[in-house]
Amino acid sequence: MPTLLELQRAVYRGLVAGEHGPCAAHVVADGIAGEGRLSVYRNTFIANLTTALRLVYPAIHRLVGAPFFESAARLFIEAQPPQSAWLDEYGGGFPEFLAGFAPAASLPYLPGVARLERAVNTSLHAADAAPLDLSRLASIDPADHDHIAFVPHPSVGFVTADYPADAIWRAVLSQVDAAIAAVDLAAGPAWLLVERCATGIEVMRLTEPEWRFAAELCTSRPLQEAIEAAPEIDAASVLAGHLAAGRFIRFELR
């Protein structure tokens, strides 16, 4: 007789990989054989996780169609099963899975669109936080300005893509044929900032230096280091725009 831990692990392997044999003999049949009962649970497990992925990646689902998406999702689930019960956060590795998924090789823009959808979902479910009180910055000694490190709002995220992922995403979700036909795949690469505003999720395209500067700021690097990472831009003006938009919630002196 296996221990409880061994039985739990066997059930887990049955759900994730379909290996029902090790634990089927310990399942009470009651009209349905043990393997049949485990198959019902496995099918429900796969279906629920596939739905969770579809909700996070609706544009990918529409781009490839339901049969392709469900096949890819099943393989992804087997390779990367959930590590928590919070399904809203499941599927973080799906964009990179698609990047290495041979049947999707003819659609090289899929990983970029998936990264954007992941960032949108993360932004949507991010915690609320009050923006930085700008009056606090006024009290900082000018000699310490270079050492200011900003903490971004939880909803702010950054995405890079080799193709115009934002244009593809908007066109596909609009379901307007003219918008889809107008997408120029040669219009990439794209450097995108994602954030949640009062009106909803916003996806903003930046220049590469602006993106680099903003990304440095939002990893809480000291201001001077962020400026040095993007010397091409007017850092003061761009920073003022981020502050006015409420993209930071506090700061520290490093």
pLDDT digit string, tens, across residues 40-56: 888 898 999 999 999 99
Mean pLDDT for the stretch of residues 207-221: 96
Mean pLDDT for the stretch of residues 143-161: 96
Mean pLDDT for the stretch of residues 166-175: 96
pLDDT at 36 over 80: no
Q: Residues near 239 by Cβ (< 8 Å), separated by ≥ 6?
A: 217, 223
How many angstroms separate the CA atoms of 150 and 223, rounded? Answer: 8
Mean pLDDT for the stretch of residues 22-45: 74
Give the model's pLDDT for residue 41.
81
Task: With beta carbons less than 8 A apart as the criterion, state whether 158 and 192 touch.
Answer: yes
How many angstroms separate the CA atoms of 105 and 42, rounded? Answer: 29
Neighbours of 241 (CB within 10 A): 11
pLDDT at 248 over 80: yes
Give the model's pLDDT for residue 31.
66
Q: Is the dihedral of CA 98, 100, 102, 108 positive or negative?
A: positive
How many angstroms separate the CA atoms of 88 and 79, rounded? Answer: 18
pLDDT at 21 over 70: no
Query: Of 74, 80, 78, nearest to 103 (Cα)?
Result: 74
Terminal-residue alpha carbon distance, the chain: 59
Give the model's pLDDT for residue 200.
94
**If 0-12 CB within 10 Å is exposed, 13-18 middle and 19+ buried, where does residue 166 land?**
buried
Task: With beta carbons less than 8 A apart as the criterion, state whether 123 and 232 touch.
Answer: no
| Residue ranges of E strands in 128-187 | 148-152, 157-161
Q: Of residues 148 and 11, which shows the higher confidence score?
A: 148
pLDDT at 87 over 90: no
**If 0-12 CB within 10 Å is exposed, 13-18 middle and 19+ buried, where does residue 231 land?**
exposed
On average, the pLDDT of the chain sits at: 92
Give the model's pLDDT for residue 34.
65
Task: With beta carbons less than 8 A apart as the criterion, state whether 95 and 118 touch.
Answer: yes
Task: With beta carbons less than 8 A apart as the criterion, state whether 227 and 221 touch.
Answer: no
Query: Of 96, 75, 92, 76, nearest to 84 (Cα)?
Result: 92
Mean pLDDT for the stretch of residues 172-180: 93
Residues forming a β-bridge with 192: 159, 205
Give the model's pLDDT for residue 89.
87
Give the model's pLDDT for residue 241.
97
| Residue ranges of E strands in 117-247 | 148-152, 157-161, 190-197, 200-206
Residues forming a β-bridge with 149: 252
CA torsion angle for 3, 6, 8, 9 (degrees, to 10)?
180
pLDDT above 90: percentage of residues in the chain: 77
Whole-structure pTM value: 0.88
